[in-house]
């Protein structure tokens, strides 16, 4: 058992002891039931740390998320089209992570499935909708807009031999429109609980629109900085669709102007709250934001290589910090549970 598994095991044992004490109390007491529910949720949250670091790809419809992920893995398995396609959360794992009880390249699960469950045969069977290959993913993981019935597909796990997946899993989300209460929008935001790093994509034409800035703010609120000295170290913003008709000078101008506008809005929506919660010591500048923005176009070898290298660096960063992230995450859950218990004891 490695050190990370030991941390998870010890946290589960500690919470199990709390659950045992609560089991002896009066279940008719509403406050006891509420605490027990939160304890049970804590078990699931702790188990979710049993995974590799995860980099998630977010953005509105047709921003190019699946195209970029395909570029990183070189296997082209994610459905891409000129129309919005993805309708499930895609989690890409390395072939070495595939358990013996899954024989296919793609396994699609219903809502409730978590990545740590992939190693547990009974849970895989419980949540499995269908397994297969690329055709299965196209059938259940992409919008056809003429579906006669709903499959219940929520998460697709895809196995690949891509080098980046040896250290980090990749997560591709459905595109969102301006509202976040749609089914796809809810799936995308729910996936944030599974990720460590954020890659946010926005088309260079209309780069970082008001609705996209708001969407990014919702992501950042739930993923504060890992280091207050480098507040955006866990975030990349990708200017997608930077085709050859747009010069590099134009791309730079678009980035500079968009970051000036986005920084002002994010200061009000996110950065001041980060300051108040001691996540950061100073507000990130528009220059700081611009340094986290990179252009991408799948037909440009230079742009593809640059983005691949930047995301590769992020992958190594999270792999190196993974143990610290698990420790911090477990401590956060335990502190919240302790606050809940103290509140219940007072009442």
Task: Report how far residue 201's alpha carbon sits from residue 328's, in angstroms, rounded to the nearest whole number.
Answer: 28
For residue 338, CA distances in Å to 39, 42, 126, 273, 334 come to: 10, 11, 32, 24, 6
Rg of the chain over Cα atoms, rounded to whole angstroms, equals: 21
Residue 236, classed as helix, strand or coil, is: strand
What pTM did the predictor assign? 0.91
Q: What per-residue confidence (pLDDT) applies to 138?
A: 86
Task: Dump pLDDT digits (tens) for 250-296.
Answer: 999 999 999 999 999 999 999 999 999 999 999 999 999 999 999 99
Are 27 and 289 spatial neighbours (Cβ–Cβ below 8 Å)?
Answer: no
- Per DSSP, the three-state class of 267 is helix
pLDDT confidence of residue 79: 81
Residue 129 · residue 153 · CB < 8 Å: yes
d(CA 169, CA 257): 33
Two structure tokens written together for 173 = 């989300």
Give the C-alpha distances (Å, rounded to integers) separating 310 from 134, 233, 276. 28, 11, 30
Q: What is the pLDDT of residue 342?
A: 86
Residue 183's contacts (CB-CB under 8 Å, 6 or more residues apart) are none
Residue 178 has a pLDDT of 56
Query: pLDDT by residue (tens digit) across 146-163?
Result: 453 457 899 999 999 999
| Residues in the chain where the model's pLDDT stays below 70 | 1, 26-31, 81-84, 144-150, 177-182
Contact of 68 with 240, CB cutoff 8 Å: yes
What was the pLDDT predicted at 285?
A: 97
Assign a CATH topology to domain 53-95+161-321. Answer: Rossmann fold (3.40.50)
Gap between the Cα atoms of 86 and 178, Å rounded: 17
**Sequence ranges of the domains in the chain:** 3-45+328-346, 53-95+161-321
């Amino acid at each position: 058992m490695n050190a990370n598994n030991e941390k998870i095991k010890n946290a589960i044992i500690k919470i199990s002891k709390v659950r045992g004490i609560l089991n002896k109390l009066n279940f008719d007491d509403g406050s006891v039931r509420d605490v027990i529910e939160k304890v049970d949720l804590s078990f699931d949250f702790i188990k979710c740390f049993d995974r590799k670091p995860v980099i998630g790809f977010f953005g509105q419809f047709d921003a190019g998320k699946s195209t970029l992920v395909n570029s990183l893995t070189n296997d082209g398995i994610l459905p891409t089209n000129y129309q919005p396609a993805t309708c499930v959360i895609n989690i890409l794992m390395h072939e070495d992570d595939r358990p013996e009880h899954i024989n296919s390249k793609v396994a699609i699960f219903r809502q409730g499935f978590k990545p740590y469950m992939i190693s547990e045969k009974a849970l895989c069977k419980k949540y499995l909708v269908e397994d297969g290959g690329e055709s299965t993913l196209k059938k259940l993981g992409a919008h056809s807009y003429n579906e006669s019935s709903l499959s219940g597909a929520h998460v697709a796990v895809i196995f690949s031999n891509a080098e980046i997946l040896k250290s980090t899993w990749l997560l591709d989300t459905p595109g969102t429109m301006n509202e976040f209460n749609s089914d796809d929008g809810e799936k995308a935001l729910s996936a944030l609980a599974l990720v460590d790093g954020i890659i946010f994509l926005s088309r260079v034409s209309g780069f970082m629109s008001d609705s996209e800035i708001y969407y990014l703010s919702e992501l950042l609120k739930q993923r504060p900085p890992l280091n207050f000295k480098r507040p955006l170290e866990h975030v990349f913003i990708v200017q997608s669709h930077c085709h050859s008709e747009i010069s590099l000078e134009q791309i730079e101008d678009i980035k500079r102007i968009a970051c000036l506008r986005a920084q002002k809005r994010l200061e009000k929506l996110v950065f001041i709250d980060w300051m108040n919660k001691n996540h950061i010591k100073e507000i990130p500048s528009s220059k700081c934001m611009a340094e986290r923005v990179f252009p991408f176009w799948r037909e440009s070898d230079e742009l593809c290589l640059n983005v691949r290298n930047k995301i590769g660096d992020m992958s190594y960063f999270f792999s190196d910090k993974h143990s610290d992230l698990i420790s911090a995450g477990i401590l956060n859950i335990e502190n919240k549970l302790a606050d809940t218990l103290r509140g219940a004891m007072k009442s």
